Amino acid sequence: MAKKALGSGCSNNEDVIKEMVKQRYNDAVSSKAPKSCCDSNVCCGSDNEIYSIMTEDYSRLKGYMPEADLGFGCGLPTRYAGIKPGNTVIDLGSGAGNDCFVALAETTESGYVIGVDFAPEMIAKAKRNAKKLGAKNIEFRQGDIENMPVDSNTADVVISNCVLNLLPKKDRIFHEINRVLKPEGHFCVSDIVLKGELPLALRNAVAMYAGCIAGAVQKDDYINEISKAGFKDVKVVKENKIILPDAMLSKYLDSKNLKEFKNGKSTVLSITVTGIKAKN
């Protein structure tokens, strides 16, 4: 049997997945959007469910702006990114600007931050937040991070927080990260991975995909793709087990399958990974 391509854990067409994710995040900042997963006509059905796995506390970090923190992350990549004054930093899936503003405080006025997001409502929200802060040396670009609107050899540091897992072509994304980094530049990414297989019902649930879980790939495959994209010194600097609540799992699994899943060897993990672009 042929090995599945990285990121093919969900049966949905790649374009459909990307459009669904884009719509979900557009809706998240829309004044008409429900305060939950997404519009019921897009992906969540009548329950409009959302499952937050964010456990990190940004509130004490310099540069933190509550209006920019929508709670969609699964880690705190800026803590391990080694951002220095004067660095150019790119944040992939920048959302309302949360990690960008923290990164900007670390790179100071001598540095520069570029946020990239493919949801236009998120870009608009981030620009409004930047204006409120009076932030300089920062910009937000709408675009697909599988084909970034950024020149090669631009960044000293690339960060991302629970975004790469949402998109199908994770191997393509890491090659793009490599392209936009300067030689010996580095990345720090927080994301969701698996050990063992998710039950089919969870892998096929679009609400779970938008919630970062159904699109997760195996941890070893994830790390291998990073190395194949041309990075060295790849390290998992933090790893947490994600506990999926029974109330959520029971929407997709009957009692027997729920028990088997909880007693099995499948584990959902939040990891933060770093790596350095190897010299050509």
**What digits encode the pLDDT tens for the residues 43-70?**
333 344 444 555 578 888 999 999 988 8
Whole-number percent of the chain with pLDDT over 70:
75
Positive or negative: CA dihedral 98, 216, 144, 121 = negative
Average pLDDT over residues 241-268: 81
**Phi, psi torsion values for 106, nearest 5 degrees:** -80, -35
3-state SS assignment for residue 109? coil
Q: So what's the pLDDT on residue 258?
A: 85
Residue 18 pLDDT exceeds 50:
yes
Average pLDDT over residues 223-247: 90
Which of 237, 241, 280 is CA-nearest to residue 53?
A: 241
**Phi, psi torsion values for 123, nearest 5 degrees:** -60, -45
Give the ranges where the chain is alpha helix by DSSP (H).
14-28, 98-107, 120-133, 170-180, 200-203, 206-210, 219-228, 246-249, 255-263
Place of tokens 């995040």: 25
Convert the pLDDT of each residue in 100-154 to its tens digit: 999 999 999 999 999 999 889 999 999 999 999 999 999 999 999 999 999 999 9
Hey, what are 134's tokens? Answer: 């009076």
Residue 237 pLDDT exceeds 80:
yes
DSSP β-ladder status, 88-92 and 112-117: parallel
3-state SS assignment for residue 231? strand
Give 7-24 as a DSSP string. T--S-S-HHHHHHHHHHH
Average pLDDT over residues 169-190: 94
Average pLDDT over residues 190-213: 71
Please tell me which residue, 114 or 23, carries the higher pLDDT value: 114
Residue 209 pLDDT exceeds 90:
no
Quick one: pLDDT band at residue 76, thresholds 50, 70, 90? very high
Query: Mean pLDDT, the chain, as a whole number?
Result: 81
Buried/exposed 105-131: b ≥16 CB within 10 Å, e otherwise: bbbeeebbbbbbbbbebbbebbbebbe
∠ Cα 199 205 208 (to 5°): 95
The span from the CA of 193 to the CA of 265, in Å, is 14
Quick one: pLDDT band at residue 34, thresholds 50, 70, 90? very low
Positive or negative: CA dihedral 55, 56, 60, 65 = negative
What is Dmax (Cα atoms) for the chain? 58
The residue ranges of DSSP E strands in 143-208, in sequence order, are 155-161, 181-195
